Amino acid sequence: MTNLIKLGTFAILLVAMTITSCNSSKKTTAGGAKTVSEGHIVYDITADGAAGAALNGSTMEIYFTPDNAKMAMNMMSGMMKIDMIVDNNKKEGLMLMDMMGQRKAAKMSKAELEEKEKEQVNKKPQKAEYVNNYKTIAGYKCQEVHVTMDGLDDPAIVYVTEQIKPAHLDKVNMQFSGLKGFPLSWTIEQSGMKMTMRASEVSLSKVDKKVFDMTIPSGYTETTIEEMQQMGGGMGM
């Protein structure tokens, strides 16, 4: 169970901080690519091996607008759910975690969000090696990239599309630095398990503002990010 949580949490971290910087307006760039300001992407999760089988069927969704962003993770048949919502204007955030019935909520201050972003920016540059291999994912042509990252046994296998260009792409991809496009699939290997997150749905339509409601739901106990770290096995959420 610990390894599953660790692998799943690592995958969350690959995008959790990236969703806070999608803003500006939509426009068409060279080659027909669109710089987008709003969107909703659903990623399906699959994992190899008997231990990783518990992750099969899990999903991760990201939503973004010029003012808000949200990541919603549903893992291990609903045993673990994590939502992260960020208000880019107020520089505030909310994280919700439901782990086997233990429901916790933690508010994130401007200082905490800025510190997390600073940590990502200060990380040493990653090595991104483009490979002459292409796939169509959720209707978008993607190129394979091997990204060497700290904490992974082998390079992450990432498929990126240049047909979608969120504004401030350098910040949107801060977990996968050195990429020229938006990641629609990636495979990571950690502690002997391999997991793939692959986009199954991509919508660039307007997102309902209700998605970003930061009211703490009934049944959740307010706590701190530090306590959530302990609740999630200390995996750095």
Give tens-digit pLDDT for 14-38: 444 444 444 333 444 444 555 677 8
Supply the CATH number for residue 81's domain. 2.50.20.10
Looking at the structure of the chain, the number of domains it has is 1
pLDDT for 232? 57
pLDDT for 202: 92
CA angle 86, 67, 196 (to 5 degrees): 55
Which pLDDT belongs to residue 212?
A: 92
In a domain, 118, yes or no: yes
Centre a 10 Å sphere on the Cβ of residue 45 and count the other Cβ atoms it contains: 22
Does a structural domain hold residue 236? Answer: no
Q: What is the mean pLDDT of residues 153-175?
A: 68
Classify residue 53: in a domain, yes or no.
yes
Q: Which domain holds residue 162?
A: 2-231
In a domain, 64, yes or no: yes
Express each pLDDT in 62-118 by its tens digit: 888 878 888 898 987 778 898 988 888 888 889 899 988 889 999 988 887 777 667
Stretch 163-190: mean pLDDT, rounded?
67
Pairing of strands 34-36, 164-166: parallel
Q: Is 154:145 a contact under the CB 8 Å cutoff?
A: no
Q: Alpha-carbon distance 179 to 26, whole Å?
A: 20
Give the Cα separation of 145 and 162 in Å (integer).
13
The pLDDT, as a whole number, for residue 134 is 97
Q: What is the pLDDT of residue 131?
A: 94
Strands 221-222 and 102-108, by their bridges, are: parallel
Q: What is the largest CA-CA distance in the chain?
A: 50
Which range (64-78, 81-95, 155-169, 208-222) has the least confidence? Answer: 155-169
Residue-level pLDDT at 52: 72
What are the tens digits of pLDDT across the range 35-52?
677 889 999 998 887 667
Please report whether residue 237 resides in a domain. Answer: no
Cα 168 to Cα 22, 114, 164, 174, distances in angstroms: 7, 17, 12, 10
pLDDT band, very low/low/confident/very high, at 170 (cuts 50, 70, 90): very low
Question: Is residue 198, in this structure, part of any structural domain at all?
Answer: yes
